[in-house]
Every structure is written in structure tokens, then in C-alpha cells.
Amino acid sequence: MTAPAFELLDVASRDHLGEGPWWDAARAELLWVDILGRRVRRATLDGAEAAEIATPSEVGFAVRDTEGRVIAGLSDGLAVCDPEVAEWTHIWRGEHDAALLRINDGKTDHDGRLWFGTMHRAETEAAGSLYSYGAGAVTTRVEAVTTSNGLGWSPDGTLFYYTDSPARTIWVFDVAADGGISNRRVFATDPEDYVPDGLTVDASGCIWAAKWQGSRVVRYSPTGQIDRVLELPVARPTSVAFAGAGLDTLVITSARMEEGDGELAGSVFLLDVGVTGLAERPADVALL
């Protein structure tokens, strides 16, 4: 395990529960959310330009669409916002009880389809699901999930990786030509000391996964073997993404939940890990 050199994203405040980093190449800015702070945040990597959009509830994820709007997973459904106007409009309301479940992590696949999941707020019941969204409706992809979390696709789009945190498991699925998933099997599991959180896939097909309460990010080979472990000075790293003009900066978000989480808890970390990532695809409005 190595303790790598890192920089901190220079923004005015740290996150309560930072999550979902997503690189917007068209605008050269990082998009991420502070779930409990109820805000979508965006900034250039040098921090020179930064802004945020308040949300009416907890916000599980945020991505751009092909029209430049921000699509976010609020506690009760999906909403869209023009960042210049900063007013949210629901495009889908979930049937779940938002007092018991909320939307958590979400991302777009290589074709611009939007995927997201729900989590049980107390994280004690497998009451959540994984969904994809299209044409104003959702398709249930995986059921009986406790905390729907990190998701990503292999470089060729034929494999899908998906996390249920309390199960301490990252799954892998086969992906069909229409984007559907099948043949779920275990990709990697974690010990009782920590749980898997957000993840990303790099250009060589390796998977990078943040470990909540584990003070680390783990890189796995495509076969599920641990390839590298990055030790971090915070207890709760939450998610990872590749950013920058060359997609060669690893971004790690973190949470500031308790006093013992570390002096830098809630910061966004920037690291050079010697590899590059995959470009994010904006949500295709034609598929929404």
C-alpha cells in the first residue's frame, strides 16, 4: 500500500458527503455533488472558476446532458437544471417512499443512457434497485439492493461493474447491444473493515474503487485481482473519476461525517497515478 502525493482541489468549502465526480470535457470542469450539503458543485481543476447549485433535497449524482443542462438524482426522482437559471424541474418522480429510500449514485453509459440506483436510508434492508432511464420512464435492472453505489463500464462497453456497499461486493455483468445487462457474478469483495463505494474504469480496463471507512482507493485488474492500493489521509473516500485534458488526473471525493475522519475529510483530492481514464458521455437527450 502506498501513500501517494496529491493536491487538493482549491475550492471555498469542503463537502459534508462529497460524491460522484464527473469530468465535463466540453467545459473543462469537474462536476460533483455534496449529498448532505444539498448542492451540485463544479470547478476547474485549478479551482480558479467554481460554482454550485443548491438542490431541494439530498442529491445522489449529477451529470451533463447533450444540451448542456445538469441532470441530477434528487431524493425522490430525476430533475434537470439550466446552470445559469438554477431552477430544478423534475423529469421523473420515483414510486419509492423518499422517507425510506433515496437516489444514490448514477452515471451515463458509453451510449449516453442514464443509469442510477436507490439506497435504503438506514442501510439495513435490501429495498433499493438499479434503474436505467429513457423516454420518460425507468427500467428496473437489478432488485434487492441495500445501497446502490459505484458503477462503470469496460472500455469496449461489453462489461458493467456495479456495487452494493453493505454487501461488500462489486458485481460484473455482461452488456447486450441494446445496453441491457445479464449474467451477474462477483467481481470483487471486501473484508469487514470497510465497504466499496464509487468506482471508475481506466483506459486499460482496470477498475478503481473507493473504500468507505477504508482510507484507500483500490485498483483491480480486469480479472478482479488487486493491482494497486492508494492510502489516503481520510477515513471515507467516496468516489473516483479521471479528469483533465488528458484524462490523467485521478479525482477522489471524500466525506466529513465524524471528527475522526481526518483533518482533510470532505476534500477533493487530485493525483497523478500514471494512467489515463475514459471520457464521460453526456446523457443523450434523444434517449431521455
Share above pLDDT 90 across residues of the chain, in percent, rounded to a whole number: 93
Judge contact between 199 and 205, C-beta under 8 A: no
CATH topology of domain 7-287: Neuraminidase (2.120.10)
Give the H/E segment covering residue 235.
Answer: none
Q: According to the model, what pLDDT value does residue 288 have?
A: 73
CA 176, CA 171: separation in Å to the nearest integer?
A: 16
Cell readout for 120 is 435504503
User: Under 8 Å CB-to-CB from 255, ≥6 apart: which residues?
Assistant: 15, 16, 17, 18, 19, 212, 234, 236, 238, 261, 265, 266
Cell readout for 156 is 469496449
Domain ranges of the chain: 7-287
E strands along 10-168, which residues?
18-24, 29-34, 39-43, 50-54, 59-64, 70-74, 77-81, 88-93, 101-108, 114-120, 128-134, 137-145, 148-153, 159-164
User: Under 8 Å CB-to-CB from 96, ≥6 apart: which residues?
Assistant: 76, 118
Q: According to the model, what pLDDT value does residue 121 have?
A: 97
Q: Which of 105, 197, 202, 261 is the catalytic position?
A: 197
pLDDT digits (tens, 9 = 90+) for 51-62: 999 999 999 999
Q: According to the model, what pLDDT value does residue 228 have?
A: 97
Q: What is the pTM of this model?
A: 0.96
pLDDT digits (tens, 9 = 90+) for 195-206: 999 999 999 999
197 carries an active-site annotation: yes
Q: What mean pLDDT, rounded, does the chain reach?
A: 96
pLDDT digits (tens, 9 = 90+) for 141-183: 999 999 999 999 999 999 999 999 999 999 999 999 989 999 9
Q: According to the model, what pLDDT value does residue 3 have?
A: 75
Q: Report the Cα 214 to chain-centroid distance in Å.
A: 17
pLDDT digits (tens, 9 = 90+) for 181-226: 999 999 999 999 999 999 999 999 999 999 999 999 999 999 999 9
